[in-house]
């Protein structure tokens, strides 16, 4: 349920409404917009008398919320959320945000050289997996904590914030100590204990859509995180499983505008995993930006043929630099801020 305050409702009237909700044993969530203040109510709303609410001073109207997700819904929070990665904002009206790097951290020199290369091309953040969710238990599983150390070294040299996956509840504290952004992979999108645990952290969370998850399932997963107090969430479309086998997954471009209408959270696209082939990554990246994505996450490898994971879908640094030029043109064409030059001052 949502309370919409009158345009000129005073602070005292808002506080009174908040106290009233608290007294009923419910949780109010205040959203102060430019036009109006909205108060969302979470809890057993059956105990609430609508008439009483309507008669509280400063209350304009009361609306039920039909969606099962509340705090992540646009109805609850009409203003777009702007989330930070390092000190760079990402979200509606902000500069298009690019995260790039290898699928896996393979060695110190590999991640440091890649970090310099993607930074030079215009990336805002560095990705790289230290804990890898692999289909086969015999495939490379990641360098684990050593991989995180190498990522931290790459950040120290380039100033690029780090995005890396956390796969297990046991590793949340460790990964959070190194990373700027905790990635929840497609395979863990509905690992509810993991979602709850990252919800207790202050790191930004990059939540990837499960390969068989509906948009609503993704939003319910975000709700798990946000309900624990962490509102810094980026949603990521990374392709879904369909009958099509020409690509690794099927990019659900629809999900971008659909998510933008249903939620205030920023939405990014991963055209590397959604296509599975480097030849198609740039075209689909352009489509994502044209459709309104707030950013992209792209796999880049110095020598894709020798990559420990996802070489087929990885761009070489020069190809990535070309991608940036092309998506910048699309961003410009659709009226969104592109990437400013020399974003980072190396530390």
Q: Which residues here bind ligand PEP, judged by CB under 6 A? A: 103, 129, 133, 185-187, 208, 238, 273
The CB-of-182 to Mn ion minimum distance in angstroms stands at 16
Q: What HEC string does 280-296 produce?
A: HHHHHHHHHHHCCCCEE
User: Which of these ranges, 6-14, 49-57, 69-77, 306-314, lies near Mn ion under the rule CB under 5 A?
Assistant: 306-314
User: Which of these ranges, 11-19, 44-52, 99-107, 209-217, lies near Mn ion under the rule CB under 5 A?
Assistant: 99-107
Q: Decide if 99 contacts 121 (C-beta within 8 A).
A: no
The CB-of-186 to ligand PEP minimum distance in angstroms stands at 4
The DSSP-derived string for 217-228 is HHHHHHHHHHTT
Position with the least CB separation from Mn ion: 103
Q: Decide if 315 contacts 289 (C-beta within 8 A).
A: no
The CB-of-241 to Mn ion minimum distance in angstroms stands at 16
Best CA proximity match to 69, nearest among 267, 235, 227: 227
The CB-of-103 to ligand PEP minimum distance in angstroms stands at 5
Q: Which of the listed partners (Mn ion, ligand PEP, none) does 288 bind, with a CB threshold of 5 to 8 Å by partner kind?
A: none
Site membership for Mn ion, residue 165 (CB under 5 A):
no
Q: 28 vs 185, which CB is nearer to ligand PEP?
A: 185
The CB-of-140 to Mn ion minimum distance in angstroms stands at 11
With a CB cutoff of 8 Å and minimum separation 6, the contacts of 137 are none
The CB-of-105 to ligand PEP minimum distance in angstroms stands at 11
Q: Decide if 265 contacts 81 (C-beta within 8 A).
A: yes
Best CA proximity match to 37, nearest among 63, 16, 11: 11
Element (H, E) at 269: strand 267-269
- Furthest C-alpha separation in the chain: 68
Site membership for Mn ion, residue 310 (CB under 5 A):
yes
Site membership for Mn ion, residue 103 (CB under 5 A):
yes
The CB-of-102 to Mn ion minimum distance in angstroms stands at 8
Q: Mask of contacts with Mn ion, 258-297, x by CB under 5 A?
A: ----------------------------------------
Residues facing residue 31 across a β-bridge: 38
Best CA proximity match to 39, nearest among 61, 69, 23, 55: 61
Site membership for Mn ion, residue 106 (CB under 5 A):
no
Q: Which of the listed partners (ligand PEP, Mn ion, none) does 238 bind, with a CB threshold of 5 to 8 Å by partner kind?
A: ligand PEP
Site membership for Mn ion, residue 307 (CB under 5 A):
no
The DSSP-derived string for 120-188 is HHT-SEEE-BSS---SSTTS----THHHHHHHHHHHHHH---EEEE---GGGHHHHHHH-SEEEEPGGG
User: Which of these ranges, 1-9, 175-183, 303-311, 324-332, lies near Mn ion under the rule CB under 5 A?
Assistant: 303-311
Chain residues that interact with Mn ion, rule: CB under 5 A:
103, 310
């Amino acid at each position: 349920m949502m309370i919409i305050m009158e345009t000129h409702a005073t602070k005292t009237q808002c506080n009174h409404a908040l106290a009233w909700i608290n007294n009923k044993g419910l949780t109010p969530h205040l959203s102060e917009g430019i036009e109006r203040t909205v108060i969302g109510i979470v809890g057993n709303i059956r105990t609430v008398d609508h008439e009483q609410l309507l008669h509280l001073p400063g209350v304009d109207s009361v609306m039920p919320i039909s969606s099962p997700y509340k705090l992540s819904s646009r109805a609850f929070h009409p203003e777009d959320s702007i989330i930070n990665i390092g000190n760079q904002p990402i979200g509606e009206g902000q500069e298009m945000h690019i995260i790039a790097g290898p699928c896996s951290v393979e060695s110190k020199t590999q991640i440091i050289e890649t970090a310099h290369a993607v930074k030079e091309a215009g990336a805002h953040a560095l990705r790289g997996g230290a804990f890898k969710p692999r289909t086969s238990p015999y495939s490379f599983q990641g360098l684990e904590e050593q991989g995180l150390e190498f990522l931290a070294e790459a950040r120290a040299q380039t100033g690029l914030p780090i995005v890396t996956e956390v796969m297990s509840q046991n590793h949340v504290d460790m990964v959070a100590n190194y990373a700027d952004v905790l990635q929840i992979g497609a395979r863990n999108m509905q690992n509810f204990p993991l979602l709850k645990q990252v919800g207790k952290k202050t790191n930004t969370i990059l939540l990837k859509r499960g390969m068989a998850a509906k948009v609503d399932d993704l939003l319910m997963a975000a709700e798990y995180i946000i309900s624990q107090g962490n509102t810094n969430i980026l949603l990521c479309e990374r392709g879904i499983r369909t009958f099509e086998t020409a690509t690794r997954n099927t990019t659900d471009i629809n999900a971008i505008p659909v998510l933008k209408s249903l939620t205030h959270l920023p939405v990014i696209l991963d055209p590397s995993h959604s296509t599975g082939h480097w030849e198609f990554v740039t075209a689909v990246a352009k489509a994502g930006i044209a459709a309104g994505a707030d950013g992209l996450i792209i796999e880049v490898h110095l020598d894709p043929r020798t990559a420990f994971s996802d070489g087929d879908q990885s761009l070489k640094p020069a190809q990535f630099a070309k991608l940036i030029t092309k998506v910048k043109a699309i961003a410009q064409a659709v009226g969104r801020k592109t990437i400013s030059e020399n974003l980072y001052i190396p530390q």
